[in-house]
Amino acid sequence: MSKTHVSATVNGDPVEFLAAPGMTLLDALREELNLTGSKEGCGSGDCGACSVILDGRLVCSCLVLAAEVEGRRVETIEGLAHGSELHPLQQKFLEHAALQCGVCTPGLLVAAKALLDSNPDPTESETRYWLAGNLCRCTGYDKVIRAVMDAAAELRQVRAA
């Protein structure tokens, strides 16, 4: 069976690639588009390390076929920073030491961005539930939650200014 030609938008840029039969969006990002920020943890939608935003919805890219994103808009961790300027979430993750080994970090950042896109002022409880699909075996989550809450507060200030 031949490969499927796919045209999509990734982090605002038009991209084209050939999707092998059964190829996931995660594999296409990493292997066809050299966007290796999204990680494969479990490959079964349980860990969230491959989180991306597809047409405005947070999804696990390991559970999306690459061929499905024809004409769709994909946002990955690579789109978060503006050049060398970190996104407030990334900055707060550094300040709060919200990462250790870093494998879960891209997924957590993308998931947190999706949360703040839809809810700029989440409660801690809402944040914990929202991020329940992102597993981290290092931090114990508290630092992650503090970083997200702090970034949310900063983003609200920036918007209000």
| Residues near another protein (CB under 8 A) | 1, 4, 19, 21-22, 24, 43-46, 48, 51, 54, 57-60, 62-65, 67-68, 70, 111, 114-115, 129-134
Residue 57 or 82 having the CB closest to another protein? 57
Cβ pair 38, 27 in contact under 8 A: no
Residue 22 or 157 having the CB closest to another protein? 22
Give the C-alpha separation, 21 to 13, whole Å. Answer: 24
Least CB distance to another protein at residue 2 (A): 9
Least CB distance to another protein at residue 99 (A): 19
Cβ pair 19, 82 in contact under 8 A: no
Q: Is the dihedral of CA 132, 99, 57, 19 positive or negative?
A: negative
Residue 68 or 86 having the CB closest to another protein? 68
Neighbouring residues of 75: CB distance < 8 A, sequence distance ≥ 6: 10, 11, 52, 53, 110, 113
Least CB distance to another protein at residue 102 (A): 19
Residue 26 or 84 having the CB closest to another protein? 26
Q: Is the dihedral of CA 24, 26, 27, 28 positive or negative?
A: positive
Q: Nearest 5°: phi and psi at 3?
A: -75, 155
Strand partners, 53: 58, 75
| Residue whose token pair is 């969006």 | 25
Residue 33 or 111 having the CB closest to another protein? 111
Least CB distance to another protein at residue 161 (A): 29
Least CB distance to another protein at residue 141 (A): 13
